[in-house]
Structure 1
Amino acid sequence: AEAGQLSADPGAALRAIAGSGRTALSELDTLVVHLRDPHAAIAVSAPPRLSDIDELLAQPLRQQGVAVRVRVDPEPGLDEIGVLTAYRIAQEALTNIARHAKATAAWIELVRVGDHARLRVSDDGVGPPQTPRRGSGLLGIEERVRARGGSWELTRRPGGGTLVQVTLPVANP
């Protein structure tokens, strides 16, 4: 929603926000029904795909005028949970760029490097604060990475801006 405030097309931003809200409410309703009756089936929307990083996650930044380049290895070696982990981390990193970076360009790269998948999300903005606040976004990244047995770091990007780098083990090394 914050990205929509700066959008060149507020109507499109509002439609995207409304669609996301409807999906979230529907999934929450399904979960509540399941909690009341554990035998009830759970049906949620399709899990995100790696191509959604470019098709969905990068779009709000582009609508703000940020040039976004996405490079996703078609076979990074991640299982379904690994794909979801990489997607959610990219989502959080891009949200932070939209909120804080004042960037004109951003880059997302997910590639396989040996027995790991490496996700890099970077921008040319103001860079990370001297002491990053451990808000729910960075905490969420840390928890997701730790749960998958990976590592991550938040650093200043060479040339200016911020770099979030995550390494996740691949499903079949």
Structure 2
Amino acid sequence: MTAAAPRLYDRAMPVTAPLPLVKRVSPRTWIVLVWCASTLFTLLTTFRLPGETEPEEWGTAQLYRWDGLLFHVVSALMALYGAVLLRRRPLCALALLILASICEAVTIGVSELPMAQYLAPILALYFIAAAAPRRTSVLALVLGVGALVAYIATRLLSGWAVGMSAELAVVLVSVISWLLGDSAHQARVHAERLSAQASAQAVTAERLRIAREMHDTVAHSIGIIALQAGAAARVTATQPDAAREAMRAVETTGRETLAGLRRMLVALRAADAGHGDGTAAEARPAGLADVDRLAAATTAAGVRVEVRWLGEPRRLPPDIDLSAFRIIQESVTNVVRHSGTHACRVTVDYGEDDISLEVTDDGRGPGTSTDTGFGLAGMRERVALLHGRFSAEPRPEGGFRVAARLPVPVSVR
């Protein structure tokens, strides 16, 4: 069949703003950046900077010898390895970062563990509390604070000078960082629970919508049956051939309607009749015949839709025809809302024993914070009820692809 020529427009859709820098940079990268900055700042305190009469800290002799440089290298390697391990083994990563900070502080000869030098473990505490389970994050807090207490105790027992007020400030900031991370963790868990509940409600609402649409389809078929039966009753005596033809139409329509009900309603849960939205039923159920109209409306809104028809078109059962259209409609809607692209392609392929649908685009896909995923859940629910196959995933070359295959009963092929 010759593909229908798409209507093309050049209106641009607004592009979603990119993620903030904090979300685009990984935690390990932040750890490395903070380590480098804090080490540089700590080293600067051992030099007399402009406007100072003397350095804030007097560096030890080994700072300028090969053994001091070796300590710097080893500390940096421990910090880098700790950043790499942060996601897989958070406690081990935190221990390496703490050890690297202590080694760096001892090397430069400061009297206490500087706040700046401990910033990398403090930031690691935040990331662990925000991402890891509660037990792991609590152990991380104990490790972070315990290491500081052990550092202070060691210096006191050795008779060395200790900047107690500075170390208490480091402990306080460490606890605050953990509390902020734990708060972010709890907020994310709560949001995931709400999302799961909303997703379950969306699936239930989609099933109720399907049931209402099925009611419209059945009502349409029953109306045809009533008309055909009435015509047959009027011409039974005078035109028996016409009466038989009308009764055959009644039989065919009835069988198709019952088959559609069996395929669709057997998998639907019983729903509360009071949840209906009260909208009037359409005079004619939607179907693939409305795809071109949907494409034209979407193109006029700013996203051009190219529709390709493959195979030999044929009449489909009302439930399959309706579900196929709803899948295409929801996929195109997702392209408009979430992809940030200006075009998409819709392919409808009539196979021998099935009908295949595909909607592709070159945009970012639905992986944005504004996408709840309820549309995909509804489409997957429709396909499952018809015993078909459904997939929705990013394309290797970029963009997103939604594909569905709906089997067509033997009786209507």
- TM-score grouping bracket, smaller chain normalisation: 0.5 to 0.7
In structure 2, the partner of 1:103 is 341
In structure 1, the partner of 2:306 is 69
Out of 106, 119, 128, the residue aligned to residue 357 of structure 2 is 119
Q: CA 1:60–1:98 in 2, change beyond 3 Å: closer, same or farther?
A: farther
Out of 359, 375, 388, the residue aligned to residue 137 of structure 1 is 375
Q: CA 1:130–1:154 in 2, change beyond 3 Å: closer, same or farther?
A: farther
SS of residue matched to 1:58: helix
Instruction: Give the superposition deviation at 1:122.
Output: 1.0
Q: Which runs of 5+ in 2 are unaligned?
A: 1-10, 12-211, 217-272, 275-279
Q: What are the residue-to-residue correspondences of 1:17-166 with 2, within 5 Å?
A: 44-55=282-293, 57-73=294-310, 75=313, 78-129=316-367, 135-166=373-404
Contact 1:124 1:162 in 2 (8 A): yes
In the aligned structure 2, how far is the partner of 1:127 from the partner of 1:88?
A: 19
In the aligned structure 2, how far is the partner of 1:134 from the partner of 1:77?
A: 34
Contact 2:334 2:366 in 1 (8 A): no
SS of residue matched to 2:316: coil
In the aligned structure 2, how far is the partner of 1:158 from the partner of 1:79?
A: 35
CA deviation profile, 1:77-129 (whole Å, cap 9, x unmatched): 63111010000111110110110011122111111233221100111111342
Instruction: Give the superposition deviation at 1:168.
Output: 0.5
In the aligned structure 2, how far is the partner of 1:67 from the partner of 1:43?
A: 29
Cα RMSD for the two superposed structures: 3.1
Instruction: Give the superposition deviation at 1:169.
Output: 0.1
Instruction: Give the superposition deviation at 1:144.
Output: 0.3
In the aligned structure 2, how far is the partner of 1:110 from the partner of 1:76?
A: 12
Contact 1:77 1:170 in 2 (8 A): no
Aligned residues: 136
* Greater relative contact order (Cα < 8 A, sep 6+): 1
Q: Which runs of at least 4 in structure 1 moved beyond 3 Å after TM superposition?
A: none
SS of residue matched to 2:348: strand
Q: CA 1:153–1:44 in 2, change beyond 3 Å: closer, same or farther?
A: same
In the aligned structure 2, how far is the partner of 1:45 from the partner of 1:139?
A: 27
Structure whose residues are more often helix by fraction = 2
Q: When the two structures are superposed, what TM-score results if normalisation uses the length of structure 1? A: 0.66
Amino acid corresponding to residue 70 of structure 1 in structure 2? V
In the aligned structure 1, how far is the partner of 2:328 from the partner of 2:349?
A: 13
Structure whose residues are more often strand by fraction = 1
Contact 2:292 2:307 in 1 (8 A): yes
* The structure with more radius of gyration: 2
